[in-house]
Amino acid sequence: MPVLHVRIDNRLIHGQVAVAWSKHIGAKTLIVSSDEVARDEFQVAILKAVAPPGLKVEILDAAATVAYAKAHPGEGLFLLCKGPGDVLALVDRGLDIREVNIGNMAFVVGAKAVTRSVYVTPEQAAIFAALAGRGVRLVSQMMPADRPADFMALLRDAGLVPG
């Protein structure tokens, strides 16, 4: 499997991702996979500028991410997505994603707190349920040393998916 780790973190590249997680999993390449971000030249430039030395960074849309992953097996890919829709787009295009770490999703109107750092809308909860229904394991884990929590159980506890 060419993908080492898939994380949802709407902050994208920052200390936890660029240093802690990339080192923990041994990533060689960090791909920000988001159709929205890939279209924003300014955001692409900023994200590439804040990447730590020694970590290759690509900002790609979903189709390009899947093509890159298939063309670079064994490269040690770390995929970073803004939200669950970005992950679903990758799965829909055939990328074999077995687990997703939900690290941070900021509050938006209509969202419910699932953890201290993750807020989910009913629409996003439906996407998470679709991913789980396709065999993707969903966990919430802020830092590598933290114990991963079953994210679907957290969504059930928050009343966002049926129990």
Structural contact between residues 78 and 25, judged by C-beta atoms closer than 8 angstroms: yes
Q: Which residues are catalytic?
A: 14
Phi, psi of 92, deg, nearest 5: -60, -30
Please state, in angstroms and rounded to a whole number, the distance separating the CA atoms of residues 32 and 138: 19
Q: Over the Cα atoms of the chain, what is R_g?
A: 15
The first and second tokens of residue 134, run together, are: 């396709």
